[in-house]
Amino acid sequence: MASSNWFQPNAAPGRAGNAPATPVEGQSPPSGGQEAPPSSPFGGGAFQFLILALPLLLIFVMTRSQSKKQKQLESSLKAGDRVVTQSGLLGRIVDISPNSPRVKLEIAPG
């Protein structure tokens, strides 16, 4: 019976030569004159940090400016101003207590 090359690595069709040998454990692979690809200019960790930190910084700045505008608007309110509550009620400010965040609204005459 003839020996079979069933388990032997064969060259790909159209290529001559044997399949590349696998390196033995403990030995470095033979250098074919190729160097490792250069590392990322940003570095792996720093770039990922920037990708996560920039949107968080943007959200922080936007909410901070919005809260400043809200506080400025609330401080400029006075008795007699017409307002709309969060629930959608239309009313007129009757009394504002300076030390408390409470306001008396008139939502209907009387």
Q: Could you tell me the residue range of the domain that residue 101 belongs to?
A: 78-110
Q: Which of 83, 59, 63 is nearest to 73 (CA)?
A: 83
Cα angle for residues 66, 70, 73 (degrees, 5° grid):
140
How far, in Å, CA of 92 to CA of 96, rounded? Answer: 11
Is there a domain that residue 87 lies in?
yes
Q: Which residues pair with 103 in a beta bridge?
A: 96
Residue 18 lies in a domain: no
Judged against a pLDDT cut of 60, whether residue 4 lies above it is answered with: no
Q: What is the pLDDT of residue 92?
A: 94
Question: Could you give the number of structural domains in the chain?
Answer: 1
Residue 65: inside a domain: no
**Per-residue pLDDT for 58 more than 60?**
yes
Q: What share of the chain is helix, strand, coil (3-state, %, to 5)?
A: 30, 15, 60
**Does residue 99 belong to any structural domain of this protein?**
yes
pLDDT of residue 106: 92
- Mean pLDDT value of segment 27-52: 67
Residue 104 placed within a domain: yes
Q: Is residue 59 part of a domain?
A: no
pTM exceeding the 0.85 threshold for the entire prediction:
no
Question: Taking residues 26-36, what's their average pLDDT?
Answer: 59
Q: Which residue has the higher pLDDT, 32 or 99?
A: 99
In a domain, 82, yes or no: yes
Is 92 a member of any domain? yes
